[in-house]
Structures are given as structure tokens and as C-alpha cells.
Chains A and B, each alone.
Chain A
Amino acid sequence: MSNTLTKIAPLRRRTVRAITGVSGVQVIVPIMVALLVILAIVGPLIAPFDAVYRSNILDSLQAPSAAHWLGTDGQGRDVFWRIIAGAQSSLLSSVLIVTGFSVLGILVATIATLGGKRADEIVMRIVDAALAFPPIIFALGVAAALGPSLSSAVIAMILTGWPVTARLLRGVMKETMSQPFIENARVLGVSRTRLMLHHVLPNSLDVLVVKWAGDIGNTILILGGLSFVGVGAQPPSAEWGAMVTGAKNVIATAPWAALAPGFAIALTALAFGLLGDILQVRFNPALRRR
């Protein structure tokens, strides 16, 4: 027992160092994420409206130059400024989606945990059914029902995201519930509400902290995909996925118009994905709980 403990302590330190050691990732990633968030907030304010939205056929498909850093698209709009302006719809929608389904997931998991065996069984069957829909397919269905737009894509993704969170959190909460300290609180006469708020949730939610960043990265990717198949943001939106779609037919003549926004998505997903990994190492609940 004791040697496992002493073995874990040094190993944990080594993991952190291995990740930071490579490229100072631990410093760069949070900065990258912070910059992206700032961009999402101020992007639409600083990007000149004309460069982003006004068609200018004369200027179409210009290669990157001093005037247009990332070139122009088929309608002569400036790709660089469109990416800046589009950060908001891409990133903030993702944050909204993840927050939305996390809240839903926490609610459902709490109901399943507190409601006793039968409620748990029913809730988990519903979760299983909902999980059987692959996210993109489900979003296609919802978007088909609600009509294609960025907001129906957001709604669709909130509706597809919660079951994963609910199932994960329920598992963790079940495990927390089986810990002796919960029994200890119950035999002390602690009320259900207090049990949930002071004992179960504080010892379960850290799993979401870890999941959160990775979720944002994934959501950005799927949201872009939805725009790409035509059920997400619609033209002339500068949402990044929609930008790739708009430029896919001219990829042979003007590759920059499709490459640049896709690269923006990849970079953002990468930043949040790495942040998720760093949080994982920092907060890994399984290791810390010992």
C-alpha cells in the first residue's frame, strides 16, 4: 500500500514535466486559448464590415498579398478579416453548446443518482437511446426539422451532447455515492440537499472540468462539419466551417480561401484539446482521490 503511494508521487511529477518539457506547452497553450477567447469577443468589432461581407467580384480569388494577408475568396471578400470576424460564431457557439449540455447533463445525472433505482433505470435507458444517435446524424435530423441555421445547429448539438456528460457524471457520482464518507454523512442525519451539495457534487464535478476543454475543441470541429454539410451557419456568415464550404469549389484555383479557415478551426481545436490534456494531468480525479 505504502509503496504504491510513494510510487505514484514521483510518477505524477514526471508526467507534468514530460509534457511541459517538450515545448513549454503548459505556458503556450493557456496563452493561445486566452487569445482565442479575446478574439471571439472583439473579433466582429475590429474587423471592417466591408472587407468581411461586401462582395467585390473584381477582387475575387486574389492570392495572399500585403493588401489581403490571406487572399480573398470567390466573392472578393478578405479571408483574413472574415476569419477574425467569424471567430465569434465559431467559438462562442461552442462555449454555449458545451455549457448548455453540461448543465443538462448535471441535472440528468443528479436525478439518476438521487431518484433511486427505478428513476436511475429509466433515466439511463433514455440516455442510452439518445446515445444511439451519432451527433452529426442527430444534428442533421434536428436541423432538418427546425430548418438549417446556426441556432438550430447549436440546439441540435446541445441535444446530442448531454447524454455523454450525463452518463459520465452519473458513473462518477455513483462511485462517489459508494464512498464511505457518504454513508458517514447519511448516518449523521445530513439532508438530501446537503448531501448532494456538500458531499457528492464537490467530489464528482472535477471530471467535468477536465472534460470541458476537450469538449470545446470537439464541438468546434463538429459545428464546422455541420456548416459544411449545409445545416449550420448559412452564407454569408463568416463562420469558419461555412467559409470552407463556400470555398470548396475553388480549391484548385484558390486553395487559401478554403485552407485558411480550416486551419483556424484546427488551431482552435488543437489549443483546446491540449488545454484539456493539461487539465487532465493537473486534475486527474482518479489519482487525486487517493
Chain B
Amino acid sequence: MANNSPARQTAVFLVRKAVSSVITLIGLSMFVFLMVKLIPGDEARVAAGENATPAQVEAVRKSLGLDQPFFVQLLQFFGRLLHGDLGTSITTHQSVLQGIEQVMPQTIELVVLAIIIIISVVTPLATLSALRRDGATDVAIKLFVILSAAMPTFWLALLLQYLLGTQIGIVPISGRLSRQFNIPTQTGAVVVDSLLAGNPLAAWDGLQHLIVPAIVLALPFGAQLYRILRAELIQVLSREHLTVARAKGVPQRQLVWRHVLPNSIGPGITLVGIQFGAMTGAAVLVEGVFGLVGVGSYLTNAVAQKDTFAVLGGVLVIGVLVVVSNYVVDVLQLIRDPRLRAGQLG
């Protein structure tokens, strides 16, 4: 029986998920490798930059091992990845990994703020919708959600910047921090750095700069979460154990908090995990408009400069981020559901 103990089952679960995460990571790298191989034209020339001399191109070919057979190249590629070598940017001549490391915290700060907004707004809306299913409240919320999901992010960003910044002027609409503040960089995330520097005013200012971009970023993803949460809530509301809880006299409020919400958030947690990566991607559409520095603007610039390795490096890093966040989600689900701990599901 000790063989089936919860602790052991938990370990089995975590190891199994970790193994599958590693496999996914390998697959991810293969994708990127193949993408490099699929680039039309000469890879060495692309890597060396458009203005390189033939001699420079040959030097790059040698250094990247492009004269080697395919599988040797694949192995070398993995070898370089293990050392954190994602290649060198042809425009800045800086290591791609370093370049991304510098901008990543700022994007993560934006995405985390957006996720906080999503969770705190969507959860009550979806609950209200599910409880008043098909009533006027539900239909109104649903319409609002459908409408906000139909707005193109980049367009909404422009529109809000124009209206709030130019026309009304209630919030700062560009940059990360007003000029009067000077905060030393520690983590790279402005609000966090401000707090670390003991400057709450600067943190507040940074937050104001982030709030509109975060809302714009949050809207379409919030709509996704709303749909999945509402559907799951409705499903859970129809389950027998709720009838049982009602039959034993549990009042409505406690019913929702204790029996409905905890049982409904599973798919929502998984979705937010996936969204974490997708939002990092969608930051591309927002950061540029609001003059924020981040992975998004890094990638947009790289695309504009035809800096292929910088783009693919960014793609890979974000992929890794997604895999990691999915693993975190699996752990969260484990904490939430005792059946997972006993190895009964999944």
C-alpha cells in the first residue's frame, strides 16, 4: 500500500510532467532549428548580415559548423543551446540571449499586471453570468465580452492612446516612467525596481504608465478566460454535489465560495498558464504603440532589421517561458485537487 501513498503519487506526477516538459522543450528547439534550415537562401549569409563580404560569410559558415552534415549540425545546435548560446545579433553584435534578458523583465511586468487585471475582473463577471444564466445580466456581460474580444489589439492601443493621452490626458501614454524619477535597475521591472529603491511615488508613476497597455493587452485574453470560466461554472453548478450541499442547508454565498468556485477554476488556471506565453507574444502589438521597451519591441525591431537569429532566439525564449509556465500550472492543479495528488486523474 505504501507504494500508492499520496507522496509517492505526487512525486510520480511531478516527474512525469517534468519529463514531458523536457521532451516538449527538445521538440521546441527542433522546430526552431528546422525553421533556420527552411530559410530560403544561404544561412551563413543571413547570419553574417546582408552587407558581409564573401570572406566574412565563409568565416561564419565555419564558425557555425554549417559545412558539417545535417545531424552534426543538429547536435552542435543543441550543444550551443545548452550553453545558452542563441547566436549573435547582426545589428547590435550583442549576444541574443543577453539582449532578450535585458528586455524580458519589463514585458513580464506588463503581462503580470494584465493577468492580475484579467483574474480580478473576469472571475466576478463569469460567476455573475453563470448564476444568472440567460438573464439580462448574463446577456449584457456576454455582449460586453464579445465586443471587447472583437477589437483588434493594436488598433485599440492606438485609439486609447489617442483618446486618453492626446484628447483627455488623464494618464501618461508613452514610456515607462516620468522623467523626474531616476530608479536604479535591479530586476529590470520598473515598478518592482521603484519599490526596491524605496520610492513608492515612482512605483505609482510606473504603474500609471503600464495600466492602459495592460488593459488593452488584457481584453481579448480576458474574453477567453470569461468563456471558459462561465462554461465550467455552469457545468459545476449542475453537479450533484451542489444539490447535496444545498440540501444540507448551505447558503448561496458559501455555496459559491466553497463549492462552486474552487471546483470551477481548474480549466481557467490551465488557460491562464497558456495565456502567459500568448500575452508575451501579443505584447508585440502593444509595446511599440505605447513606447515601452520589451520583448515585443525587441522582436519588432529585429524583424524590421531582418535580424533572423535575434527573432528566432526570441521565439525560443518565449517558448521556454510557456513550457515553464505550463509546468507551474500543473503544480498549481496538484495543490488544488486531492485526486491528482492520489494519482487518480490526469
Interface residues of A (CB under 8 A from B): 14-15, 18-19, 22, 125-126, 128-138, 140-148, 217, 221, 224-225, 228-231, 241, 244, 248, 251-252, 255, 258-259, 262, 265-267, 269-270, 273-274, 277
Q: How far is the CA of A8 from the CA of B41 in the complex (A)?
A: 60
Q: Is B318 on the interface with A (CB-CB < 8 A)?
A: yes
Contact across chains for A135 and B281 when beta carbons are under 8 A apart: yes
Question: Given A129-B24, A134-B280, are A224 and B303 neighbors across the interface (CB < 8 Å)?
Answer: no
Q: How far is the CA of A18 from the CA of B32 in the complex (A)?
A: 47
Contact across chains for B278 and A135 when beta carbons are under 8 A apart: yes
Q: How far is the CA of A148 from the CA of B318 in the complex (A)?
A: 21
Q: Which of B26, B154, B158, B282 has the largest count of A CB atoms less than 10 A from its CB?
A: B154
Question: Given A229-B300, A262-B159, are A224 and B152 neighbors across the interface (CB < 8 Å)?
Answer: yes
Q: How far is the CA of A237 from the CA of B302 in the complex (A)?
A: 23
Q: For chain B, what secondary structure do more than half of its interface residues adopt (helix, strand, loop), or is it mixed?
A: helix
CB distance from B31 to the nearest CB of A (A): 6
Contact across chains for A244 and B278 when beta carbons are under 8 A apart: no
- In the complex, besides A130-B27, A135-B281, A136-B281, 9 extra interface pairs with C-beta distance below 8 angstroms are A22-B143, A125-B27, A145-B308, A228-B154, A228-B285, A251-B161, A259-B159, A269-B151, A270-B147
Q: Which of B27, B284, B312, B322 contacts A144 (CB 8 A)?
A: B312
Contact across chains for A230 and B322 when beta carbons are under 8 A apart: no
Contact across chains for A244 and B315 when beta carbons are under 8 A apart: no
Q: Is B39 on the interface with A (CB-CB < 8 A)?
A: yes
Q: How far is the CA of A126 from the CA of B20 in the complex (A)?
A: 11
Contact across chains for B154 and A22 when beta carbons are under 8 A apart: no
Q: Specify which chain B residues have a CB less than 8 angstroms from the CB of A266 in the assembled complex.
A: 150-152, 155
Q: How far is the CA of A241 from the CA of B35 in the complex (A)?
A: 26
Contact across chains for A125 and B23 when beta carbons are under 8 A apart: yes
CB distance from B37 to the nearest CB of A (A): 9
Question: Given A144-B311, A259-B159, A274-B146, are A230 and B303 neighbors across the interface (CB < 8 Å)?
Answer: yes
Contact across chains for B281 and A231 when beta carbons are under 8 A apart: no
Task: Pull 15 A–B residue pairs with CB atoms less than 8 Å apart, ordered by A.
Answer: A22-B139, A130-B31, A133-B318, A135-B278, A140-B303, A140-B311, A141-B32, A141-B312, A225-B285, A229-B288, A244-B158, A258-B158, A262-B152, A266-B155, A273-B146
Q: Specify which chain B residues have a CB less than 8 angstroms from the CB of A137 in the assembled complex.
A: 280-281, 284, 299, 314-315, 318-319
Q: Specify which chain A residues have a CB less than 8 angstroms from the CB of B285 in the assembled complex.
A: 136, 225, 228-229
Contact across chains for B303 and A231 when beta carbons are under 8 A apart: yes
Q: Which of A125, A145, A258 contacts B39 (CB 8 A)?
A: A145
Contact across chains for B318 and A134 when beta carbons are under 8 A apart: yes
Q: Which 8 A-B pairs have the closest CB atoms?
A: A129-B27, A134-B281, A262-B155, A270-B150, A137-B281, A144-B311, A18-B134, A269-B150
Contact across chains for B304 and A141 when beta carbons are under 8 A apart: no
CB distance from B294 to the nearest CB of A (A): 13
Contact across chains for B31 and A133 when beta carbons are under 8 A apart: yes
Q: Which of B28, B38, B146, B302 contacts A132 (CB 8 A)?
A: B28
Q: How far is the CA of A19 from the CA of B284 in the complex (A)?
A: 35
Q: Which of B260-316 contact A (CB under 8 A)?
A: 274, 277-282, 284-285, 288-289, 299-300, 302-304, 306, 308, 311-312, 314-315
Q: Which of B38, B139, B147, B284 contacts A18 (CB 8 A)?
A: B139
Contact across chains for A129 and B30 when beta carbons are under 8 A apart: yes
Q: How far is the CA of A147 from the CA of B308 in the complex (A)?
A: 10
CB distance from A153 to the nearest CB of B (A): 12
Q: Which of B144-178 contact A (CB under 8 A)?
A: 146-147, 149-156, 158-159, 161-162, 166
Contact across chains for B152 and A269 when beta carbons are under 8 A apart: yes
Q: Specify which chain A residues have a CB less than 8 angstroms from the CB of B303 in the assembled complex.
A: 140, 143-144, 148, 229-231
CB distance from B166 to the nearest CB of A (A): 6
Question: Given A133-B319, A134-B318, A229-B288, are A248 and B150 neighbors across the interface (CB < 8 Å)?
Answer: no
Q: Specify which chain A residues have a CB less than 8 angstroms from the CB of B153 in the assembled complex.
A: 221, 225
Contact across chains for A134 and B277 when beta carbons are under 8 A apart: yes
Q: Specify which chain B residues have a CB less than 8 angstroms from the CB of A132 in the assembled complex.
A: 24, 28, 277, 319, 322-323, 326
Contact across chains for B24 and A128 when beta carbons are under 8 A apart: yes
Q: How far is the CA of A137 from the CA of B277 in the complex (A)?
A: 9
Q: Is B251 on the interface with A (CB-CB < 8 A)?
A: no
Q: Which of B24, B158, B322, B323 contacts A262 (CB 8 A)?
A: B158
Q: How far is the CA of A135 from the CA of B224 in the complex (A)?
A: 15
Q: How far is the CA of A267 from the CA of B40 in the complex (A)?
A: 37
Q: Specify which chain B residues have a CB less than 8 angstroms from the CB of A265 in the assembled complex.
A: 152, 155
CB distance from A150 to the nearest CB of B (A): 15
B307 nearest in chain A by CB position:
A144
Q: Specify which chain A residues have a CB less than 8 angstroms from the CB of B39 in the assembled complex.
A: 145-146
Q: How far is the CA of A32 from the CA of B24 in the complex (A)?
A: 42
Q: How far is the CA of A98 from the CA of B237 in the complex (A)?
A: 34
A244 nearest in chain B by CB position:
B155
CB distance from B244 to the nearest CB of A (A): 15
Q: Is B36 on the interface with A (CB-CB < 8 A)?
A: yes
Q: How far is the CA of A221 from the CA of B322 in the complex (A)?
A: 22
Q: Is B222 on the interface with A (CB-CB < 8 A)?
A: no
Q: How far is the CA of A217 from the CA of B147 in the complex (A)?
A: 12
Question: Given A229-B288, A244-B152, are A138 and B315 neighbors across the interface (CB < 8 Å)?
Answer: yes
Q: How far is the CA of A84 from the CA of B25 in the complex (A)?
A: 44
Contact across chains for A134 and B282 when beta carbons are under 8 A apart: yes
Q: How far is the CA of A147 from the CA of B306 in the complex (A)?
A: 8
Q: Is B220 on the interface with A (CB-CB < 8 A)?
A: yes
Q: How far is the CA of A132 from the CA of B315 in the complex (A)?
A: 10
Q: How far is the CA of A138 from the CA of B274 in the complex (A)?
A: 15
Q: Specify which chain A residues have a CB less than 8 angstroms from the CB of B28 in the assembled complex.
A: 129, 132-133
